[in-house]
Amino acid sequence: MHKILQRLSNAALAVWVTGAYLFLYVPLLVLVVFSFNKITFPYHWVGFSWHWYQELFVTSEIWEAAQNSLIVGASSVVLSVTFGLLFVVWSSRNNKHYLMGAFYPNLVVPEIVIAVGLLSFYIFFNVPLGLPSLIVGHTLLGLGYAIPIIYTRYNALDQRIIEASLDLGATDRQTFFKIVLPLLRSALVAAALLIFILSLDDFLIAFFCAGSSAQTLSLYIFAMIRSGVSPVVNALATLMLVVSSLLVMVFCSVKVKEDIW
Amino acid sequence: MKTIHLKDISKSFEGDVILDDFSLTVPAGKFFALLGPSGCGKTTVLRLIGGFETPDYGTIMLGDKNITKVPIYKRRISTVFQNYALFPHMNVFNNVAYSLQLKNLDKERIKERVLKVLRAVRLESHMYKSIKQLSGGQQQRVALARAITNEPDVLLLDEPLAALDLKLREQMLIELIDLQETLKTTFVYVTHDQTEALTVADQMAILNHDGKIEQIGTPQQIYEFPASSFVATFVGKMNLFKGTLQTAGESPCVDVPGLGLFQIYISARYQWMQEGAHVVMGMRPEKIWMEKKKEEKFSNVMAGTVEAIVYHGPATQYNVRLKNDQMVQVFEQNEEHFPKEKIDYDDHVYLHWQKENAFLLER
Amino acid sequence: MARRAKTVHSFFWGIPAFLWQTLFFYVPLCFLLATSFVKRVPSTKISHFSLEHYAALLDPIYMVILARSLTLAAITVCSCLLIAYPVAYFLALRVQRFKTILFALLILPFWTNFLLLVYAWYFLLENNGLINTMLLKFGFISAPIHMMNTYGAVCCGMLYCYLPFMLLPLYSTFERFDERLLEASRDLGATGWQTFTRVMLPLTLPGIKTGALLVFIPAFGEFVIPSLLGGDKSMYIGSVITHYFLTVRNVSLGSAFTCFSALFLIFFLFILFMAHALLNREQKNA
């Protein structure tokens, strides 16, 4: 009796988990498949076609939006990781670990509050809205992720290795660039990937702080969804999924080498 | 070859006083060992010399240069760390060449020097391996090679053999002695293992729990003529007898209550002792000659019963109970496979020793 | 005792991050708070302190909106937990060979733009969408099922987008879980259900709490998903904020409402925290 129950519960678990994965992936697969569909209405498969991808490449708005998103993403990554790294090194050396707490709210406070706060700030100081105002917001989120990730890795470093470097004649600066930085590489890469994707996928801060002139991919997709279904969005979605998959693969290979979480 | 002088050093960590008014001179070009129990401050002394800590008070001189305020990377002192602290992201070559690469030397010269050093530690065939592929002993030798590459004035070794197994440790000790004799660099070796210290040192210092130097001397001096009961009991095994000194009469004796009078040899250090002084007579277990019958040729003898026998391989330890209930340890070398006379439990034995083989300590 | 070597000029290094954080995070939040108390006299440049905006918020309609957001967030947390818990357990403890791939598959949606995820459901659920077209084609139904613009569609979308936020902390908790404890429990005679309730559940509780917070707090302010999948019929907290900030451009009222909602959230979490602490104390006294 017990064995049967055991088998049943195992089977139930397997079914549940399979169901969950299907739930996660069927919609995405459908999206991808139908980006190659010949026509838009009605939604059944007619035949294979690159048509929507061609339309995608022709639509200049998408390219502008993509370019903007990349600029914002890259800038946010550079700013967050650099500032975050400097901050972690400084606070760890001067034993001010508690100051890290100042960055926790970035992750805890609902994003809409941050977005709206920034907006009221900009309005008050008559700051023109555009890509820079957006980069500021994304860097805030980035700092919230970068600092804990880098901090964990930095404090897991064997202090004796740093002492050995100094002992052998390297100055603090040389030690930082030759020893500390290479050993932190996995954390920096993981943080960079995470922040880049976050920036790419972010909608709320762009919605409030980008103003009317700057268009990012998220905002573009939002507008497109509002105006109805179009397979061009399917094509865009497929491309973005490919990009995300590549980044996930890189991230997982980094994770396999060293544990970040 | 440079001498190290530590003068009146005081160092505390968060209220705990580790060293107070500590002074030490490490002679140039010698293998110097710092021995002491855990937590006595010997590692702190090493870290002060290396520059990883700065003293609260006092000065540190290297040769005739005051290096107290000189930062770690400017001191011509290298350290071999207890857990090796090898750079995990570099291979053997780059680890060893690190100090040379910092100075932007010519690549050919660097390679030449690294090869030379790796040959000295017998690792030249592992030159381009990654650190993770090496065994503990090999890693230790890389750490050693790395430290001597830029020819420091002083080499500091912080319990470097602690992680190795016995056979490897014994081998490495001999290699270290050879290395020091070849390089003629001042070695400062910190350990809590007395066998290591006695093996490698030309000169050694014993620190007690409070960070004070109990004795400085050669290993023989420390072992054979300990200056205090702490040194006597910390280094090696020891039998101690409390008594009073009797200088009247032909030869000085120690009157041990319950056991009798024993002849003693008073060394130069204790010539000032007077009649009736409270003293401790000490004897190493291997200096005692144990027989079932009494021998006449020895200056001193006492009687007892064998209570315990512990077989150590090369020697056997006998615990003998004396008539005043004190326990004495005796080491007898196992010279023969089939000894003529075997001593067993509860045997009545006589313990003999010459008066020169015991020593005197203040109480 | 290992001490870190210091540098002379390291002071400057911490400044940029700190400055950024203060200037762009804390200051704007203060501004938000301050703006909510400011009332500008119309057609003049005079502004003065006023509680007028907060008074306006006492209208019951706002409480309805808050309750609506709260309910949606709660439903999302529960549904995410229900789905994620077995999956996390399975992946962490029952899978050996394909773990990395399956894990990668699990976090891929997390790394995808959530608007695309919403769009995928749009595509499926629309009256002309895939599901309806398929069902009609195969004759299962005679008229398209109205799935879009319903509360069900919203919940589905929320579950879909927030699932990874619950999955990752749970997975991490299960990864660190000592399976031998389960074995010990069975060894001592407990049934599967008893082992689950007495051993697994209490020990994974920290992970559940983390996941719940990671889902609840953002879901509380969510308005995009309800808007796109629910047809903009109901107002949620986010929609109100958007309305005041971007449409009507009444920054003061918008700030007031944001602060009000934030306070509500904090208050709600505080109640939960107190209930949790009380429960703990009762358990200890029992």
Chain C, 57 to 76: residues with Cβ < 8 Å from chain A are none
DSSP state of C25: I
C3 contacts on B by Cβ (under 8 Å): 52-53
Statement: residue C171 has pLDDT above 50: yes
What is the total count of domains within chain A?
A: 1
Residue that has been written with the tokens 């490490």 in this structure = B26
CA distances from C52 to A119, A123, C36, C56, C257 (A): 22, 21, 9, 6, 12
Q: At what angle do helices C151-175 and C201-220 cross, to 10 degrees?
A: 140
Cβ within 8 Å of A, C 196-235: 217-218, 220-221, 223-224, 228
CB spacing of A27 vs C14 below 8 angstroms: no
A221:C115 CB<8 A: yes
Q: Please, which residues 27-66 of chain B have a Cβ atom closer than 8 Å to chain C?
A: 52-53
Task: Report the distance separating Cα C18 and Cα C73, nearest Å.
Answer: 33
Closest CA to A208 of A115, A132, A106: A115
Q: Is B98–A168 a contact, with Cβ atoms under 8 angstroms apart?
A: yes
User: Does A157 fall in a domain?
Assistant: yes
Q: Compute the distance between CA of residue C144 and CA of residue C133 in angstroms, rounded to an integer.
A: 8
pLDDT higher than threshold 90 for residue A234: no
The arithmetic mean of pLDDT across residues C175-200, rounded, is 85
Identity of the residue numbered A49: S
- Within 8 A by CB and 6+ apart from C166, the residues are C77, C80, C81, C83, C84, C211, C212, C214, C215
The rounded distance, in Å, linking the Cα atoms of A43 and C133 is 6
CA angle B203, B204, B207 (to 5 degrees): 160
Q: Is A111 in contact with C105 (Cβ distance < 8 A)?
A: no
Is A14 part of a structural domain of the chain? Answer: no
Mutate to test the interface with A, among C40, C69, C107, C112 (most CBs of A within 10 A): C112
Residue of C nearest to B51 (CA): C5
Positive or negative torsion for Cα C258, C264, C267, C269: negative
Gyration radius of chain B over CA positions: 25
Q: Is residue A223 part of a domain?
A: yes
Tally A–C CB contacts below 8 A: 241
pLDDT over 90, % of chain A = 35
| Top-ranked range on mean pLDDT: pick from A152-156, C104-108, C127-131 | A152-156
**Predicted confidence band at C234 (pLDDT cuts at 50, 70, 90)?**
confident
CATH superfamily placement of domain C66-234:
MetI-like (1.10.3720.10)
**Shortest distance, CA B191 to any CA of chain C (angstroms):** 16
Chain-chain contact of B52 with C1 (C-beta, under 8 angstroms): no
CATH number of the domain at A221, please: 1.10.3720.10
Residue A252 counted as domain residue? yes
A220 touches chain C (CB under 8 A): no
Task: Tell me the pLDDT tens digit for each residue of C14-31.
Answer: 788 888 888 888 888 888
Average pLDDT score over chain C: 84
What is the rounded distance in angstroms from the CA atom of residue C10 to the CA atom of residue B357? 61
Domain membership flag for residue A183: yes
Residue A261: pLDDT over 80: no
As a whole number of angstroms, the distance between CA C159 and CA C128 comes to 23
Note whether A87 contacts C16, CB cutoff 8 Å: yes
Nearest by Cα to B127 from B110, B102, B105, B103: B110
pLDDT at C4: 44
Helix (H), strand (E) at residue C162 = helix C151-175
Q: Using an 8 Å CB-CB cutoff, list chain A residues near B162.
A: none
Phi-psi sector, B51: left (phi>0), alpha (psi -120 to 50), beta: left
Whole-number pLDDT of residue C270: 92
Instruction: Say yes or no: B72 contacts chain C, CB-CB below 8 A.
Output: yes
Instruction: Report yes or no: C48 and C127 within 8 Å, Cβ to Cβ.
Output: no
- Name residues 59-98 of chain A within 8 A of C (Cβ): 79, 82-84, 86-87, 89-96
| Percentage of residues of chain A with pLDDT beyond 70 | 93
Residue A259 scores a pLDDT above 80: no
Please, which chains are in contact with C (at least 3 CB pairs closer than 8 A)?
A, B
Q: Give the closest residue to C149 by CA, choosing from C226, C237, C235.
A: C226
Per-residue buried b or exposed e for C58-93, using 16+ beta carbons within 10 Å of the residue's own CB = eeeebeebbeebbebbbbbbebbbebbbbbbbbbbe
Query: In chain A, which residue's Cα lies nearest the Cα of C85?
Result: A17
pLDDT of residue A260: 41
CB contact under 8 A, A27 and C121: yes
Q: What is the pLDDT of residue B113?
A: 92
Segment C143-155 shows an average pLDDT of: 82
Domain of A168?
Answer: 60-257
pLDDT tens string, chain B, 363 residues long: the values are 789 999 999 999 888 888 999 999 999 999 999 999 988 899 999 999 999 999 999 999 998 899 999 988 889 999 999 888 999 889 999 999 999 998 888 999 999 999 999 998 989 899 999 998 999 889 999 999 999 998 999 999 999 998 888 888 999 999 999 999 999 999 999 999 999 999 999 999 999 999 999 999 999 999 988 888 899 989 988 899 999 988 877 788 888 988 888 888 887 778 888 888 889 999 999 999 998 888 888 889 999 999 999 999 999 999 999 988 899 999 999 988 888 888 899 999 999 998 888 888 887
Residues of A in contact with C6 (CB under 8 A): 93-94
pLDDT tops 70 at residue A22: yes
Q: Is residue A40 part of a domain?
A: no
Ordered structural domains, chain B, with CATH: 4-233 (3.40.50.300), 239-362 (2.40.50.140)
Contact present, A217 and C113 (Cβ < 8 Å): yes
Q: What is the pTM of this model?
A: 0.79
Task: For residue A169, give the 3-state DSSP assignment.
Answer: coil
- Residue C184, pLDDT above cutoff 80: yes
Question: In this structure, how many other beta carbons lie within 10 angstroms of the beta carbon of residue A85?
Answer: 24
The string of pLDDT tens digits covering residues A151-170 is 989 988 888 999 999 999 99
Size of interface A-B (CB pairs under 8 A): 58
Does the beta-carbon distance from C262 to A110 stay under 8 Å? yes
User: HEC string of chain B?
Assistant: CCCEEEEEEEEEECCEEEEEEEEEEECCCCEEEEECCCCCCHHHHHHHHHCCCCCCEEEEEECCEECCCCCHHHCCEEEECCCCCCCCCCEHHHHHHHHHHHCCCCHHHHHHHHHHHHHHCCCHHHCCCEHHHCCHHHHHHHHHHHHHCCCCCEEEEECCCCCCCHHHHHHHHHHHHHHHHHHCCEEEEEECCHHHHHHHCCEEEEECCCCCEEEEECHHHHHHCCCCHHHHHHCCCCEEEEEEEECCCCCCEEEECCCEEEECCCCHHHCCCCCCCEEEEEECHHHCEEECCCCCCCCEEEEEEEEEEEECCCEEEEEEEECCCCEEEEEEECCCCCCCCCCCCCCEEEEEECHHHEEEEEC
Mark yes or no for CB contact A116/C106 under 8 Å: no
CB contacts under 8 A, C 111-130 vs A, are 111-124, 126, 128-130
Q: What is the DSSP letter of C41?
A: P
Both tokens of A142, joined, read 């980035």
Distance of CA A7 to the CA centre of its chain: 40
pLDDT score, position C245: 87
Over residues C221-229, the mean pLDDT reads 89
Q: Residue C11: its pLDDT value, please?
A: 54
Cα angle A220, A223, A226 (rounded to 5 degrees) comes to 150
Nearest to B28 by CA among B75, B68, B62, B60: B62
SS3 C40: strand
